[in-house]
Amino acid sequence: MQSTPLPPGLAPFSLRGKRALITGATRGIGQALAIGLAQAGAQVIVAGRQRAALQEVVQQLNNWGEHPEMLLLDVQDPASIETAFATLAGKPLDILINNAGIERLCPSLEVDETLWDSIVGTNLKGAFFCAQAAARLMVEQGSGSIINLCSLTSEVGVPGATAYGASKSGLAGMTRALASEWATHGIRVNGIGPGYFQTAMTEVFYQDNGWRESMQDKIPLGRFGKLSDLTGAAIFLAGPAAAYITGQILYVDGGYLASI
């Protein structure tokens, strides 16, 4: 089934003819973004470590008829990144969404090197080397859009999330630095900072009714985010509607940061 063309007035938000790679695309935010970009017309490449899970997402994306692909990729392993991106050489890559990430709460006095390296290695180091590999392809075509999934912890401190906050704060800084450096190549680099969204990774928080009620009261729009709330931001930043926007972090948080 082919996706329906956008009306002329919405053409700047169309991704038709664009090829997009999304890391960590087998569940949660990554899967939602893959579906959203496919609905906007993009040919989507879903990347992750588990072949069976990737195949399931590709089957879903086939509903939009844009020839989805899958790519085995472990963002914690620079060699895996290099090998995976080598298979994309010779074809356009217009969009990269660095979504793969992990979060584990741990009191800072108990954080060990293994935990630190796992979180920072995935969320920051992995994102950088994926961005670097994508940019090498984008430089050849003179254009591209890279979107990094940042976090509220890119701006605020959360007890027990020191390693995660360090990785996401670093990701925000990396976004601005790469945007400044790669603009001459026609590559835009932006970030999306999700607020409170219930996913498999964050489910542990939502099991605490007291936390749910307290946190929801702090969100001006009065509710937690839905995954569909993020797809519009990604489509906007990825496509021609945001042609003059780079180095920015768009927080999709129901007004949380504006109210604290």
Residue 48 in domain: yes
Q: What is the pLDDT of residues 144-184, one digit of tens each?
A: 999 999 999 999 999 999 999 999 999 999 999 999 999 99
Residue 4 in domain: no
For residue 110, the enclosing domain spans 15-252
User: How far is the C-alpha of 132 from the C-alpha of 128, rounded, in Å?
Assistant: 6
Task: Give the pLDDT of residue 231.
Answer: 96
* Residue of 164, 196, 251, 256 marked active site: 164
Alpha-carbon dihedral sign for residues 6, 247, 88, 59 = negative
Contact of 223 with 27, CB cutoff 8 Å: no
Contact of 62 with 54, CB cutoff 8 Å: no
**DSSP for residue 17:** T
This prediction has a pTM of 0.93
Residue 258 in domain: no
The HSE-up count of residue 127 (CA atoms within 13 Å, CB side) is 30
196 labelled catalytic? no
Residue 241 in domain: yes
Q: Residue 70: which CATH number?
A: 3.40.50.720
Residue 5 in domain: no
| Mean pLDDT score, 11-25 | 92
Residue 221 in domain: yes
Number of domains in the chain: 1
Q: What is the pLDDT of residues 37-93, one digit of tens each?
A: 999 999 999 999 999 999 999 999 998 867 999 999 999 999 999 999 999 999 999
Residue 7 in domain: no
Task: Give the pLDDT of residue 65.
Answer: 65
Residue 10 in domain: no
Alpha-carbon dihedral sign for residues 1, 56, 149, 257 = positive
Task: Give the pLDDT of residue 41.
Answer: 94
